[in-house]
């Protein structure tokens, strides 16, 4: 038979201390709030362990990118001059009459609605409502002949020639064009 061994004196104290900590841990960990709190602490510890090695290189990279951008951008600008000169353009211009031949008319005023194509040629014409000159055949023929030789600058839309409708007002003393 073997002799009984005597435990060391501080083993008893260590076991009592360990038992009291375990009892306290079990009392705290009983409720849902305690479990949730421990879970949140665990995740905070894990995220802190993940982010700490990434944070310093990320901050250094961001700072160096901003610094390099700030240093190199002034090299690509010309002081006192703008690289792009913004020229205002009209989005739409009306058709204008360049030349209309003379013809004699008996009326004080003749209104004609014209369709002018993108090359400045008259495609069609009509008389607005209430115009009597359409019934006057000799005046109508003289006006048609004059319109054949009328020269227009076509309207433009975004810088390209476009077809448009214009109203031509011919008076004995002047000619007005309205788009």
The pLDDT value recorded for residue 64 is 95
What Å distances lie between residue 142 and 80, 149, 151, CA to CA? 61, 11, 16
SS3 content of the chain, % helix, strand, coil (to 5): 45, 20, 35
For the chain, give the percent of residues with pLDDT over 90.
18
pLDDT digits (tens, 9 = 90+) for 92-107: 888 888 888 877 777 7
Give the integer Cα–Cα distance in Å for 178 and 108. Answer: 18
- Are 179 and 114 contacting, i.e. CB atoms less than 8 angstroms apart? no
- Average pLDDT over the chain, rounded to whole? 83
pLDDT digits (tens, 9 = 90+) for 43-85: 998 888 888 888 888 999 999 999 999 888 877 766 666 555 6
The pLDDT value recorded for residue 93 is 85
């Amino acid at each position: 038979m073997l002799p009984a061994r005597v435990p060391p004196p501080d083993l008893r104290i260590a076991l009592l201390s360990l038992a009291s900590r375990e009892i306290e841990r079990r009392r705290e960990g009983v409720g849902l709030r305690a479990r949730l709190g421990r879970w949140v602490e665990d995740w905070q510890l894990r995220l802190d362990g993940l982010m700490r090695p990434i944070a310093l290189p990320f901050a250094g990279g961001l700072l160096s990118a901003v610094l390099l951008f700030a240093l190199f951008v002034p090299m690509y600008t010309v002081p006192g001059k703008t690289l792009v000169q913004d020229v205002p353009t009209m989005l739409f211009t009306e058709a204008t009459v360049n030349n209309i031949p003379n013809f004699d008319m008996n009326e004080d005023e003749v209104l004609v609605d014209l369709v002018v194509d993108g090359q400045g040629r008259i495609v069609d014409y009509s008389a607005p409502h209430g115009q009597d000159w359409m019934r006057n055949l000799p005046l109508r023929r003289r006006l048609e002949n004059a319109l054949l030789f009328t020269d227009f600058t076509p309207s433009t839309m975004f810088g390209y020639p476009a077809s448009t409708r214009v109203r031509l007002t011919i008076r004995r003393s002047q000619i007005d064009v309205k788009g």
